[in-house]
Amino acid sequence: MTETRGDISAGNHPGRVRLGLIGDNIKRSRSPDLHRLAGRLSGLDVSYDLFIPRDLGKDFDAVFDACRDSGLRGVNITYPYKETAAGRVTIEDPLVHRIGAANTVVFEEGGAKGHNTDYTGFIAAYRQAFGDMAPGRVVMVGAGGVGKAVAFGLIALGAEELTVVDTQPGKAESLAATVRDAGRGRIATGFGSDVSAVLPSADGIVNCTPVGMVGYPGSPVSAELLGEQRWAFDAVYTPVETQFKQEAEAAGLTVLSGYELFFHQGIDAFRIFTGKFPADLGVLRKLLLETA
């Protein structure tokens, strides 16, 4: 992938769909490749740039406003700005409003509209990997923007129980309460700050922290705690082969890679941005591998 540093002042070109990504530690993001290739397969000329607030000498709000004012069709939002972005947009979907995080923003004449394709993308990725298998009892580490989306995805997939663990107990408790309310009794929820206390009885373990991604080495879960569970999911995809993923696989768990969430949420975002859906996802996957 060729790194693209966003030039917010760049002008529009007729027939081009201009998109971007706002976030930290995104220089190795595959989103530019995915959206440009999806555009090519859909007959569109798509540009997709990276906007890193600190590199631009601006805060998130200033970068967001500049993207809007320069005529971009929309932007994806990633760590650590998804919850901040939700406060800057109109969210029409009641479920996404309840999630409280936006990873896809479309700039329309009436204002910026927020969506959450982490939610839909996680459900699609899980079903592709596990079919109709129920998640069972799940421990999720990380109560931030992607954690909120995945928690609601677990409700939709029929999880029996969800325990939210975060180094900030207040965040874990808040998300657990939201899930409990949204689940309407269909899912038991708990919270805590010590994953070792709750992991032994879990069927699934989910990492929704940035630990493992470029710039945040390590794993949120000690390897000795893995092995009793059936499945795991790591939201991190840069790199794909995280320490958590490798240790979970070594312990015998079936692991859903963060790359699958990236792929499916990206396709959903592309559809929201353009109104089109790439006809052959297999071809898109192949082209993405070839450009890695």
61-98 pLDDT, tens per residue?
999 999 999 999 999 999 999 999 999 999 999 999 99
Contact 233, 126 (CB under 8 A): yes
- The pLDDT value given to residue 12: 46
pLDDT computed for residue 1 by the predictor? 33
What tens digit of pLDDT does each residue of 267-290 get? 999 999 999 988 899 999 999 999
Compute the 3-state secondary structure of the chain and give helix, strand, coil in percent, each to the nearest 5: 40, 20, 40
Cβ-based neighbours of 157, under 8 Å, separated by 6 or more: 123, 126, 127, 134, 135
Instruction: Indicate the SS3 state at residue 254.
Output: strand
Q: Choose the catalytic residue: 48, 81, 237, 259.
A: 81
CB 166 within 8 Å of CB 143: yes
81 part of the active site: yes
The gap from C-alpha 193 to its chain's centroid, in whole angstroms, comes to: 22
CA separation for the pair 24, 149 (Å, rounded)? 19
| pLDDT value for 185 | 83
The total of other beta-carbon atoms located within 10 Å of residue 5's CB is 11
Where does the chain hold its CATH 3.40.50.10860 domain(s)?
A: 16-115+261-290
Domain with CATH 3.40.50.720 in the chain: 119-256
User: What confidence tier does 184 reach under pLDDT thresholds 50, 70, 90?
Assistant: confident
CATH superfamily of 16-115+261-290: Leucine Dehydrogenase, chain A, domain 1 (3.40.50.10860)
The pLDDT value recorded for residue 13 is: 55
- For residues 205 and 207, what is the distance between their CA atoms, to the nearest angstrom? 7
CATH superfamily to which 119-256 belongs = NAD(P)-binding Rossmann-like Domain (3.40.50.720)
> What is the pTM assigned to this prediction?
0.92
